[in-house]
């Protein structure tokens, strides 16, 4: 079963904090509830030039207007693309 | 008798929660009153490129500005297309 | 005497509720004061592609910014076209 | 002496209510202070296609942002063209 | 010394009320503090088609966002062109 | 060391009041804290057609959103170009 | 590991105040908490013509909507490009 975001939206899988800090990015406590990390699962109608992101990218996003849902027990979020602020390239 | 949405609107038939969870999507309690599922019945003036949805698609929508009506005892909603956040592909 | 709406407006004749329910559409009590039905009498500067409505169409509209007037004892409303949400095709 | 409206504005001569009702349009009490009638005297920079109105037309307008002035004892109003909602064709 | 307005602005010399009423326009007391008259001295970047006004024109303007200054003892105002509502042609 | 404004901004050197009034412009007390004079030092990405101003021009500006800084003891301001209302040509 | 800003954003390394004043720019106390300096590390989708900034540039920015993060113990900020007000050229 596949969730296809509609409009300028992106489906992501939130990444738990601890895994991240081992490899590099640490988000100060104060910013934590505001900004998180995730992995891109599916793209809606996104212009490559404006938002150069693809499936599998690890991204940073500010999280107020995300929509939460669970599929087969796994947690996903649907974000507005404008809330994606950066991608992390290994 | 046919209801044809006008402007960037979509006519849907809300899908009761229980039917859904059997097949996969479960919407956390906190999000429930905010976001629901439905089946597309009729499209207004929708640009395919911007909103790739068609009759029969199962969709997720955020529901504040929907218009409720009943036709021959069946409940329908008229949504703004911008409130449709994803479609569910089996 | 003819009333010609100016700009993106439409002149309609409101349809009393009871006539409607016989043939099909029933608007739940809660939505009633918000959304009503009417028949299109005259169109202002309306783009056919954006608003595919014509004289004689039965329409559903949300009614906050309508302008009320009476001509030879008959009640009419001037609506913004953006408040027309659907048309009913027999 | 001629008053030429500037921008998307129209100069009108307000029409007293009583003259009107004899010939047809009656504006319910509740709407009266909000919407009135007048005759077009002069047009500013108005696009014919968007606002098909000409000198001498009898119009209905909603009146909050009109500018009042008197010329040789006669009362005139300068309106934003967007406040003109219809014209009355005999 | 010359003051050249920048952007969509116009430099005017306010015209005292009494001079005007002799020739014709009388602005009702209630409107007076809101709307006044003046003579165009200099134009900023103004599109002739949108604002057909030139140096020497007598204009009516609504006055909330004007900038006051004195040059060699004479009072001038810098207006946004959108506050100019009409010009008076003898 | 050179400060290059970014976007639609302009770097100016504020001109003290007294120097100005000798030559001509006097800004009424009431307007003083709101509007001041200065000399253009450097331009950001400014369209000549929209804002015909150049280095060395004496300008009038309304001052709420300016950014203050000192370079080698001299005071400078970074303005939004939309706050520049006129230039003074000798 | 590389952080690539998405959309009209820029990744910078904030520059501590003291290093700067030695070479020239001093930001008055009142403006300090509002405006700071930094070095450009990475650019998102930035139009060169609109924002002529490159990696390594020293910039001045107004700081309300920046996103803070630490990578390998070093502090970085992700800014909206519209908050960058100037660049400092030695």
Q: State pLDDT tens for residues E43-69.
A: 999 988 889 999 999 999 986 778 888
pLDDT exceeds cutoff 60 at B45: yes
pLDDT exceeds cutoff 90 at G64: no
- A41 and G CB contact within 8 Å: no
pLDDT exceeds cutoff 60 at F46: yes
Q: State pLDDT tens for residues A43-60.
A: 999 988 889 999 999 999
Q: How many CB atoms lie within 10 A of CB G82?
A: 16
Q: Which residue among D2, D70, D72 places its CB closest to the CB of E89? A: D2
pLDDT exceeds cutoff 80 at F74: yes
Burial of C23 (0-12, 13-18, 19+ CB in 10 A): exposed
Taking residues G41-52, what's their average pLDDT?
Answer: 92
Hey, which residues 21-40 in chain F have their CB within 8 Å of chain G? none
pLDDT band at F16 (very low <50, low <70, confident <90, very high): confident
pLDDT band at D12 (very low <50, low <70, confident <90, very high): very high
Q: Tell me, what's the pLDDT at F21?
A: 46
Higher pLDDT residue, E35 or B46? Answer: B46
Nearest chain D Cα to E27, which residue?
A: D69
E70–F27: do the CB atoms touch at under 8 Å?
yes
D1–E87: do the CB atoms touch at under 8 Å?
no
Question: Two tokens at F70?
Answer: 């000192």
Q: Tell me, what's the pLDDT at A15?
A: 87
Q: Tell me, what's the pLDDT at A71?
A: 84
Nearest chain E Cα to D80, which residue?
A: E85
Question: Two tokens at F26?
Answer: 């006097």
Q: Determine contact, residues F33/E40, Cβ cutoff 8 Å.
A: no
Q: Tell me, what's the pLDDT at E26?
A: 59
pLDDT exceeds cutoff 60 at A29: no
D60–C69: do the CB atoms touch at under 8 Å?
yes
pLDDT exceeds cutoff 50 at B21: no
Domain ranges for chain E: 9-88
Which overall architecture, per CATH, does domain B9-88 show?
Roll (2.30)
What phi and psi, each to the nearest 5 degrees, are found at residue F65?
-110, 35
pLDDT band at B31 (very low <50, low <70, confident <90, very high): low
DSSP C82: G
Q: Tell me, what's the pLDDT at D36?
A: 86
Q: How far apart are CA B41 and CA B74, in angstroms?
A: 12
pLDDT exceeds cutoff 90 at C29: no
Q: State pLDDT tens for residues D74-86.
A: 899 999 999 999 9
Taking residues F14-39, what's their average pLDDT?
Answer: 63
- D90 and C CB contact within 8 Å: yes
Q: State pLDDT tens for residues C36-76.
A: 899 999 999 998 888 999 999 999 998 677 888 888 888 99
3-state secondary structure chain F: CEEEECCCEEEEEECCHHHHHHHCEECCHHHHCCEEEEEEEEECCCCCCCCCCCCCCEEEEECCCCEEEEECCEEEEEEEHHHEEEEEEC
Q: How far apart are CA A14 and CA A10, in angstroms?
A: 12
Q: How far apart are CA G15 and CA G17, in angstroms?
A: 6
Task: State which fold the C9-22+31-88 domain adopts.
Answer: 10 Kd Chaperonin, Protein Cpn10; Chain O (2.30.33)
Helix (H, G, I), strand (E, B) or coil at E45: coil
Q: Tell me, what's the pLDDT at D3?
A: 93
């Amino acid at each position: 079963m596949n969730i296809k975001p509609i409009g300028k939206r992106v489906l992501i899988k939130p990444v738990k904090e601890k895994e991240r800090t081992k490899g590099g990015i640490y988000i100060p406590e104060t910013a934590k509830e505001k900004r998180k990390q995730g992995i891109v699962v599916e793209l809606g109608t996104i212009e490559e030039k404006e938002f150069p992101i693809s499936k599998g990218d690890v991204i940073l996003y500010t999280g107020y207007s995300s929509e939460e849902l669970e599929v087969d027990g796994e947690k996903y979020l649907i974000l507005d693309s404008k809330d994606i602020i950066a991608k992390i390239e290994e």
